[in-house]
Chains A and B, each alone.
Chain A
Amino acid sequence: MLVMNNINKTFQTGNIQTHALNNFNLTVNEGDFVSVTGPSGSGKTTFLNIAGLLETYTSGEFTLDGKDVGQLNDNGRSRMRNEKIGFVFQGFNLIPDLNLFDNVDVPLRYRGFDAKERRRRIEENLERVGLASRMKHLPSQLSGGQQQRVAIARALATEPRFLLADEPTGNLDSQMAQGVMTLLEEINQQGTTIIMVTHDLELAMRASRTIQVKDGRVSELDVVAEKVSA
């Protein structure tokens, strides 16, 4: 479903070249819950940005749902992001000027659903994350955990095949983090493939599969071994 073969990503800053991903290989199957760990600067977020079509790669092959991502133009990438990928960010990334209803509405607008269908999906997903009664509230009126739930509702509203989460619990206290994690597990059990970047090994271990990124490469076996010994 998501296949990356020898993906390289190089950043050029002046005369300095930084290899963020170095022959990165990964296959993620439908229904997987993959957690991605690794030290800061190892390339986790770069991998997630490339997987989410937010960044291009320097070389290699990347197919998503059978489509060669390298062949897509800006419109094609936007359409694929909208149709197949949901994002959950560490900083929630809600639009502060819009209420919860309108925040969840954003990706549905770009999909082109009619008003009735949009309303159904918004209400259904806010209900799912337990915030249906607050849909007219602004993000600033919610706690961090609630904001992250809204972000998840927004990500799920388009019924994506993949949910990409970048440190989704990074800004939350442990109780809120547990709540969000439980929600992600439920979502995964309902069939959505999840790739989650996290520093928290305890949360990472709750995923069905854990990989470690180190120096821009995948070192899956180390972490699996650690998981087994634990």
Chain B
Amino acid sequence: MFNYYLRLARISILKHWGLSLLMILAIGLGIGATMTTVTVNYLMSANPIPHKSEQLYYVQLDSWDVNDPFDEGQNPPDQLTYTDSTNLMKAKKAFRQNVQAQAYAVIEPNDPEILPMIVNARANSADFFAMFDVPFIYGNAWSNQADDNKELVVVLNKETNEKIFGGKNSVGESIRIDGNVFQVVGVIDHWQPKPRFYDITTGAFNETEEIFVPFNLIAEEKVRRSGNTNCWKPSGDGFEAFLASECIWTQFWVELKTEQDKDDYLNFLNAYVEEQKQYGRFLRPIDNRLSTVTQWLENQEVVADDARMMMTMSFMFLVVCLLNTVGLLLAKFLGKAPEIGLRQALGASKSTLFFQYIIEAGCIGIAGGLLGLFFAFWGLIGIETLYGDYMQNLATLDFNMMLLAIAISFFATIIAGIYPTWRACKVQPSHQLKSQ
């Protein structure tokens, strides 16, 4: 009977194509608006590294001005000073630890045919790759010894490797970066966590970097740092003074396997700050924090309030569209009262008829869902155009979102169809048969 009902639905939809089109359009608009905002929210709030997000911790220490607390005292600073980061790295108290900062560089390819290029870089420690499960195509991360020895090594992303080496295995090759010769130790596959959790400070949805170099090379001035820098007192003259200053510009992550490890590490941080207080630093009360990936994303309000509000409003719009659909379905199904009466006379029970017309409503819902996907696709392109690079990695409909759109549309239309179908099935067959 299911196939029979599908066939009847097709005939009915095509026969009353104008009314059907209006309903599909109403649902499509509602679903399109909803899926556009749901997709943005979904990608904003997704857990980018679910299998270990509870083992990775972002470190915060409150080294800020005692008279003018950071974030009005609500949160410690969102980055660390170079001094603290390097001290924590040297302590090696965590299973893995990573200090990092955004950087940039100019690559001069060996091939004279290829022009020099400015690339976004990440200066990080060796553990970065293992901590964040960065996938490699060729080679590996550099070693901790390479960090300590400040070796000139580089990991390229896939696109950069293609530009410079034509996509071949370039491990062992040399490239000139900012005038220094670096050796390629690895090439990573396409890697774009959403959100780009490891550095929220420079944009949660920016693209991952094109090259990765050891963090220690910043101090050697072999790599130029960039990103956000905040200072609460003058840093002094010269780069050495800047590194020793209270300016915050580094991010620090640790990987801790157990809750006990976390407690131990927090104790270590507290002891570290107590020690630093003796040198006249950390004048504010101790407020050291370890935030898991999800806590950190929440703390940094990666899902913006206006995005949430837009999603709520789009759901309200969907409800309005569905209410319109209820009215149109009611008109359509009540118009079929004579046929419903006849079918009852020929042996259809009310439940059978209910099923038949709910399937028709469901078909309209699926058609509306497909149209909604089309609208959502263009809606996301519109958002990308409107917001530019910030939204570039968010404005994509993945398979899950497509399934969700169809499912929401189907079930919403089924719900919208219940009342009209129920009303239609309540018709008194004898009245309809006589009046035909």
Partner-contacting stretch, out of A63-71, A73-81, A128-136: A73-81
A-B contact pairs, 22 of them (CB 8 A): A45-B434, A52-B345, A54-B345, A54-B429, A74-B349, A74-B351, A75-B349, A75-B351, A78-B348, A78-B349, A78-B350, A82-B347, A89-B433, A91-B433, A91-B436, A93-B433, A95-B339, A106-B343, A107-B346, A109-B1, A154-B346, A166-B434
* Interface residues in chain B, defined as those with a beta carbon under 8 Å from any beta carbon in chain A: 1, 4, 11-12, 15, 338-339, 342-352, 428-430, 433-434, 436
- Contact residues of A: prevailing secondary structure: helix
B349 and A49 contact, CB distance less than 8 A: no
Distance in angstroms from B17 CB to nearest chain A CB is 12
Distance in angstroms from A216 CB to nearest chain B CB is 16
A110 and B339 contact, CB distance less than 8 A: no
B430 and A49 contact, CB distance less than 8 A: yes
Kindly state whether residue A97 has any CB partner on chain B within 8 Å: yes
A158 to B1, CA, bound (A): 17
Distance in angstroms from A172 CB to nearest chain B CB is 15
A78 and B338 contact, CB distance less than 8 A: no
What 1/0 mask marks residues of chain A from 191 to 208 whose CB sits below 8 Å from any chain B CB? 000000000000000000
A97 to B1, CA, bound (A): 18
A63 to B349, CA, bound (A): 20
Distance in angstroms from A20 CB to nearest chain B CB is 11
Residues facing B in A119-167 (CB within 8 A) are 154, 158, 166
Residue among B342, B348, B350, B436 having the largest count of chain A Cβ atoms under 10 Å? B342
Distance in angstroms from B436 CB to nearest chain A CB is 4
A97 and B15 contact, CB distance less than 8 A: yes
**Which B residues are CB-close (under 8 A) to A30?**
none
Determine which of B15, B339, B347, B434 lies in contact with A78 in the assembled complex, contact meaning CB atoms within 8 Å.
B347
Residues facing B in A162-196 (CB within 8 A) are 166
**Which B residues are CB-close (under 8 A) to A95?**
339, 342
Contacts A78-B350, A93-B433, A110-B352 known; list 14 others, CB within 8 Å: A45-B430, A55-B428, A74-B351, A78-B347, A79-B349, A81-B346, A87-B345, A89-B436, A91-B436, A98-B11, A106-B343, A107-B346, A107-B347, A166-B434
- Which residue of B has the minimal Cβ distance to A55? B430
Determine which of A91, A97, A111 lies in contact with B347 in the assembled complex, contact meaning CB atoms within 8 Å.
A111
A52 to B346, CA, bound (A): 10
What 1/0 mask marks residues of chain A from 30 to 55 whose CB sits below 8 Å from any chain B CB? 00000000000000010001001011
A74 and B346 contact, CB distance less than 8 A: no
Residues facing B in A88-121 (CB within 8 A) are 89, 91, 93, 95, 97-98, 106-107, 109-111
Given contacts A75-B351, A78-B352, is CB(A87)–CB(B436) below 8 Å? Answer: no
A100 to B74, CA, bound (A): 77
Distance in angstroms from A99 CB to nearest chain B CB is 10
A45 to B435, CA, bound (A): 12
- Which residue of B has the minimal Cβ distance to A111? B347
Given contacts A93-B436, A97-B15, is CB(A81)–CB(B347) below 8 Å? Answer: yes
A54 and B349 contact, CB distance less than 8 A: no
Determine which of A49, A75, A87, A109 lies in contact with B4 in the assembled complex, contact meaning CB atoms within 8 Å.
A109
A93 to B338, CA, bound (A): 8
Would you list the 3 A-B pairs with minimal beta carbon distance, nearest first? A82-B347, A110-B347, A78-B349
A69 to B115, CA, bound (A): 92
Distance in angstroms from A77 CB to nearest chain B CB is 8
Distance in angstroms from B351 CB to nearest chain A CB is 7
A110 to B352, CA, bound (A): 9
A52 to B342, CA, bound (A): 12
- Which residue of A has the minimal Cβ distance to B429? A54
A97 and B348 contact, CB distance less than 8 A: no
**Which B residues are CB-close (under 8 A) to A55?**
428, 430
A74 and B350 contact, CB distance less than 8 A: yes
- Which residue of B has the minimal Cβ distance to A155? B346
**Which A residues are CB-close (under 8 A) to B350?**
74, 78
A95 to B337, CA, bound (A): 11
B347 and A54 contact, CB distance less than 8 A: no
**Which B residues are CB-close (under 8 A) to A83?**
347
**Which B residues are CB-close (under 8 A) to A110?**
343, 346-348, 352
